[in-house]
Amino acid sequence: MTGQGWELVGAPNARDLGGLVGADGRRVRVGQLIRTPALGRLTDEDLPVLAKLGPACVVDLRATTEITVAPEDRFAGEPRVVRLPVHDPEHPVFTYVSAVLLGHDLDAYAELARQGTAGAMAAIYRWFVTGESARVGFAEAVRLAARPENLPLLYHCSAGKDRTGWLTVILLTALGVDEAAIRADYLRNNELTDSLRAVIVEAMRRRNPELDVDAVLPVLEVRTEYLDAGYAEVRRVHGSFDVYLRDGLGLTDADLTALRAQLLE
């Protein structure tokens, strides 16, 4: 992981958002905002690295149904764990991602594949903007990040790319980071998880030689079109990201001022 001086073998797309340039040319403080996938696959060697990062608070964006079937998160120390489920039980993408990551049978998701998993992923990003549990969960995560007792703050979902990715968009936008830098961080997921993706696809292909890889890859990757769908929904519903932060998420000027005070150098 170039530039940050650490990596987690069991969470290859984990990264520190520190160093990005935010409002008034001030940089995001290093070691305070850490995005990861679920921590259940951390290795024994990862735990001392996590201990050094020292998260005071861990935000888990998964639903209980996802948590119960996944390996238990591994921690170093005893961080406060806050569960803010951003989950739409009506949308099979969430279950599909978990099934892919856990190696479960995918026959039940044939309809999703017919619909087109790339299209379904874009639909989820639109839901991130308007869905009730998304609005509540993302807003509370921002408020947690604005309080010093919760820093460093580590946050994750299952794969650490979609819900975690959109929360990162929200946090960095609120901190004044420009959209090009936000997009670059978002798209880094693919290079960081390239070898992991290959392992997952190969394992799935061994179980099912008829596997339609084109139906699986969209849930293992991040794509510009997904992020575009989220941004477009913000503009459609709220007109601007600033209005989305305030009206969509209910964040106050005090919330946003506190966030910047804690996280910008």
Q: What is the pLDDT of residue 2?
A: 41
Percent of the chain with pLDDT over 70: 90
**pLDDT band at residue 233 using 50, 70 and 90 as cut-offs:** very high
- pLDDT tens, residue by residue, 144-171: 999 999 999 999 999 999 999 999 999 9
Active-site pick, 49, 154, 157, 175: 157
The answer to whether 138 and 249 are in contact (CB under 8 A) is yes
- pLDDT tens, residue by residue, 110-122: 555 555 788 889 9
126: left (phi over 0), alpha (psi -120 to 50) or beta: alpha
Is residue 130 predicted with pLDDT exceeding 60? yes
Residue 138 tokens read as 């993302």
Is residue 157 annotated as a catalytic residue, yes or no? Answer: yes
Name the strands in the sheet holding 15-16, side by side, starting at the edge strand that comes first in the sequence: 15-16, 33-36, 153-156, 57-60, 80-83
Mean pLDDT of the residues in the chain: 91
Residue 35: CB atoms within 10 A of its CB come to 24
Is residue 207 predicted with pLDDT exceeding 90? no
- pLDDT tens, residue by residue, 73-106: 999 999 999 999 999 887 767 766 666 666 665 5
Q: What is the pLDDT of residue 106?
A: 57
**pLDDT band at residue 1 using 50, 70 and 90 as cut-offs:** very low
